[in-house]
Structure 1
Amino acid sequence: MTTRRITLLTLALMAVGAVGGWLASVAHLPLPWLLGSLAVTALLQPLPPIDRALGPYRYPMTLRSFFVALIGVMIGSQVTPELLGLVAALPWTLAGLFVFVLLAHGGNFVIFRQFGGYDRPTAFYSGTPGGLMESILMGEEAGADTRILTAQQFLRIIIVVTLLPLGLSLWLGRPVGSASGLAGDVAATSIAPPQLVLILCTAAIGLWLGRRLRLPAAQLTGPLVLASAASLTGSLDLHLPYWLIALAQLAIGVSLGIRFRGLDLALLRRSFGLSLVSVGFMMALGAGFAAALTAVTDLPFLHLLVSYAPGGVAEMSVVALSLAASPALVSLHHILRILLTVVEMGVLARLLRISPPPRPSPPG
């Protein structure tokens, strides 16, 4: 396939994905540009005309890696001196978060491995209690089934941000939270050209460093580490504008959606059932930690429950506002949950030797 044809198909898919992202944002879904573009791309490509037009097309990996690097910069920009200042004030809840991540991941691995019958890489990365993009990227490198992995990770987010506010609303007798999220809560509203260049350079340099240092999911963790170090100095503002975050989510969503060829309804039904079991386990585990920590801190049970819920940062912050809880408190726990998950994934994957499933031997 020629470079010109690959470029035209990529632009066409991005345009179609943008329609899906816009519809998802209008519907107030979580991660709209990622979820919407993925859904539209995955649903349309099995149609015979689309399938014939795509042929052997693959999304350009260089382009995808750069957009992933921008997501790494976005996450790293949240690690600020103010955020670290909260860490010292909450030793018990943050120590508990570390144990929660380990127990949740271990329990989920058993659920997906024993009940789902997934291979080890797919079960391991499907079971992470956070870091949707990080889990997909690292799982992809380890040989996990990206269709199943992506479905499980998205279902985790969707189930939590849908059922937790509903459950709390029924418990408290009043509306709580929203699945709409805070679209631009962590994004800059405007950006000067020099700052945009700085962000793009940080992504590119972090991508290069991550690969040179052979970091796990280098295209994500390299920029994340570099942006974290820059943000902690307080001298650089690396907050991405919302349009750039949406564009990065759009590109990643399309690149994932194009891989959903052959996904059937039976697989989706099984993934949904397993996600209900997994989320139920994690919420029960989080409730146990919240109850124990309420006894040793002055923090209310519901505030801690939301802090330990394995949902999205923005969505859980909305729920926190409805409960008159501190969004900073909730955001701190969820950002650290993602960072702990990234570190824990890399360390455990090496210790447990999580690797691609063996290929079948050729006949004869």
Structure 2
Amino acid sequence: MQKQIEPEPPISAWQPALQWAALLVLSVCLAGVLELAGLPAALLIGPMIAAVVCGTNGATVRVPPTAYLAAQGVVGCLVATALAPEMLAAFVARWPLFLGVVLATLAASGLLGAMVSRWGALPGTTAVWGSAPGAASAMVVMADAFGADARLVAFMQYLRVIFVSLSAALLARFFVDTTGAPVPAIEWFPPLAWPDFPATLAIALVGAFGGKALRLPGGALLTPILLGAALQLSGLVALQLPEWLLALSYTIVGWTIGLKFTRPILVHAARALPQVVLAILLLIAFCAAIGAVMAPVLGVDPLTAFLATSPGGMDSIAIIAAASRDVDLSFVMTLQMARFVIVLLFGPPLARLIAGRIKP
């Protein structure tokens, strides 16, 4: 009698330690392959894809919220290192153009959300919040507060983050000419400066947890940016972010995003998946078109313009921009933060307006 082959147990049946081990091994393998392929932000995208694979196959482990907050604080300090006084001057000098780009993106996202709602795929407020550009975690929290389905909003937001991350990394890899440019060697464990390194950790942690405690939208990322920039520009602190700390933070951000893609959420969203993917691709294409027009006007390179207008999460965009050579991180984050603030101001009334006018 032929012995029946029993199916492999789902990941959910594994011990948490084994789940973490599988996630870590898969993350290292994917990040290594992407790094060898020359893909920017491999240390973010590799763990993110690994977490999606594990999450959709039943993994039950989750990144502790405190670890994610700390990682956002480190990314905030990374952005702070690129901020300079002339950035504000540049924004003020060309504020009509910047404002026009932000409002055009917001209008396009609202229109696409209305289209998804009109197609009957998702309820009005859920579709609008899911399409809103900005920091994904803040959009999910605000959507829940305004009565939208937080699960579907999270699905749309984080699916778009993955699409934007992959498209930006591929653009940097294949369409930006870096021939002849030397690849700087990575020093993973540099000597830690005193007191700059402890001060950097303090800024990251105090800023992230303080922003969260104050219940500021996106405060875990924005507060360390503002605090770190203020202290660095004043000359009191020289922020030090060794590569091992950045790699750890990128991994935590990638895992947090990827593990949100569980099978129940995918099943719940399966009916709307084609419309959601189409809306995401249209929004990315629209933002890319704005970036293509804006690049020669402002004298920035195409990748900088693409990242500045990309409708992805600010933390992911900051990581990709920092990992891409010749990208103006200061310019990217100026436009990203301006859009984030405007979305916070105009997102709720826009969601209510569209939900009231659109009948699925």
- With the length of structure 2 as denominator, give the TM-score of the two structures: 0.70
Alpha-carbon distance in structure 1 between the residues aligned to 2:66 and 2:304: 36
What amino acid sits opposite 1:39 in the alignment?
I
Q: Which residue is equivalent to 1:152?
A: 160
- With the length of structure 1 as denominator, give the TM-score of the two structures: 0.70
Asked whether the 8 Å contact 2:77–2:224 carries over to 1, the reply is: yes
Alpha-carbon distance in structure 2 between the residues aligned to 1:221 and 1:205: 12
CA offsets per residue over residues 232-263 of structure 1, 9 Å max, x none?
21321124222211111101211222221123
Name the CA shift for 1:203/1:196 in 2 (closer, same or farther; >3 Å).
same
Name the CA shift for 1:65/1:147 in 2 (closer, same or farther; >3 Å).
same
Asked whether the 8 Å contact 1:97–1:308 carries over to 2, the reply is: no
Q: Which residue is equivalent to 2:235?
A: 234
1:249-264 counterparts in 2 under 5 A? Answer: 249-262=250-263, 263=266
Name the CA shift for 1:210/1:45 in 2 (closer, same or farther; >3 Å).
closer
Alpha-carbon distance in structure 1 between the residues aligned to 2:49 and 2:324: 26
Asked whether the 8 Å contact 1:198–1:238 carries over to 2, the reply is: yes
Give the alignment partner of residue 69 of structure 2, picking from 65, 70, 76: 65
1:1-364 counterparts in 2 under 5 A? Answer: 10=20, 13-47=23-57, 51=58, 54-55=59-60, 57-79=61-83, 83-85=84-86, 87-88=88-89, 92-115=93-116, 117-118=121-122, 120=125, 123-124=128-129, 126-128=131-133, 135-142=135-142, 143=144, 144=150, 145-162=153-170, 176=177, 191-192=192-193, 194-262=195-263, 263=266, 270-289=275-294, 293=297, 299=299, 303=300, 306-309=303-306, 310-311=309-310, 312=317, 330-352=328-350
Asked whether the 8 Å contact 1:18–1:250 carries over to 2, the reply is: no
Gapped runs of 5+ residues in structure 2?
1-14, 145-149, 311-316, 356-360
Q: 1:152, CA displacement in angstroms?
A: 0.9
Asked whether the 8 Å contact 2:116–2:127 carries over to 1, the reply is: no
Alpha-carbon distance in structure 2 between the residues aligned to 1:267 and 1:184: 45
Name the CA shift for 1:260/1:93 in 2 (closer, same or farther; >3 Å).
same
Asked whether the 8 Å contact 1:66–1:203 carries over to 2, the reply is: yes
CA offsets per residue over residues 1-48 of structure 1, 9 Å max, x none?
xxxx7677556644543333333322333322221111112113444x
Q: Which residue is equivalent to 1:360?
A: none
Name the CA shift for 1:306/1:63 in 2 (closer, same or farther; >3 Å).
closer
What amino acid sits opposite 1:279 in the alignment?
I
Q: 1:336, CA displacement in angstroms?
A: 0.6
Q: Which residue is equivalent to 1:172?
A: none
Asked whether the 8 Å contact 1:122–1:139 carries over to 2, the reply is: no
C-alpha root-mean-square deviation of aligned residues, in Å? 3.9
Q: Which residue is equivalent to 1:362?
A: none
Q: 1:344, CA displacement in angstroms?
A: 2.1
What amino acid sits opposite 2:101 in the alignment?
F
What amino acid sits opposite 2:33 in the alignment?
L
CA offsets per residue over residues 137-193 of structure 1, 9 Å max, x none?
212323343232111122124334535886xx6xxxxx7359xxx8999x9965336
Q: 1:345, CA displacement in angstroms?
A: 2.8
What amino acid sits opposite 1:221 in the alignment?
L
Say which is worse superposed, 271-280 or 61-70, in terms of deviation: 271-280
Look up the SS of the partner of 1:88 in the other structure: helix
Look up the SS of the partner of 2:285 in the other structure: helix
Look up the SS of the partner of 1:192 in the other structure: coil
Look up the SS of the partner of 1:215 in the other structure: coil
Asked whether the 8 Å contact 2:250–2:319 carries over to 1, the reply is: no
CA offsets per residue over residues 74-124 of structure 1, 9 Å max, x none?
222322xxx222543575545412320121122123113414745535543
**Percentage of matched positions with identical amino acids:** 18
What amino acid sits opposite 1:277 in the alignment?
L
Alpha-carbon distance in structure 2 between the residues aligned to 1:10 and 1:41: 10
CA offsets per residue over residues 191-217 of structure 1, 9 Å max, x none?
336433212211221134213432112
Gapped runs of 5+ residues in structure 1?
170-174, 322-326, 358-364
